[in-house]
């Protein structure tokens, strides 16, 4: 059994390694999502010099498609377990 770290609670029936992996997956999904939205704004508006209305349409479409996936990953990590 792995030794629990200071950031991981020591609860009975909770595998610290699994919880750390879930945490990294949730943070990775969230920061990737925010990074992609930032790239869309910077590339569309500054580099391609699109009108801000066009950039907002692209941003809204992308956020609408990916927010469900990110929400599922983050929701899975923060779900409450009841015994």
16-63 pLDDT, tens digit per residue, is 787 788 888 888 989 999 999 999 999 998 889 999 899 999 999 999
State yes or no: pLDDT of 5 exceeds 70. Answer: no
Is residue 25, in this structure, part of any structural domain at all?
no
Is residue 67, in this structure, part of any structural domain at all?
yes
Is residue 11, in this structure, part of any structural domain at all?
no
**For residue 68, how many C-alpha atoms fall within 13 Å in the half-sphere facing its CB?**
4
Number of structural domains (the chain) is 1
Q: Which two tokens stand for residue 61?
A: 């479409």
Is residue 44, in this structure, part of any structural domain at all?
yes
Rg (CA), the chain: 18
- Quote the pLDDT of residue 81: 52
- Quote the pLDDT of residue 54: 92
The structure tokens 């929701």 sit at: 75
Is residue 27, in this structure, part of any structural domain at all?
no
- Quote the pLDDT of residue 82: 46
Give the three-class secondary structure for 72. helix
Phi, psi of 80 (to 5 degrees): -95, 135
Residue count (the chain) = 83
Is residue 68, in this structure, part of any structural domain at all?
yes
User: Which residue range is the domain that position 58 belongs to?
Assistant: 40-77
């Amino acid at each position: 059994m792995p030794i629990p770290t200071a950031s991981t609670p020591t609860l009975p029936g909770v595998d610290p390694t699994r919880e750390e992996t879930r945490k990294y997956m949730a943070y990775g999904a969230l920061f990737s999502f925010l990074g992609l939205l930032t790239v869309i704004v910077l590339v569309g508006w500054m580099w391609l010099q699109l009108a801000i209305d066009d950039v907002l349409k692209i941003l809204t479409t992308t956020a609408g498609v990916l927010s469900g996936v990110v929400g599922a990953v983050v929701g899975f990590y923060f779900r409450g377990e009841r015994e």
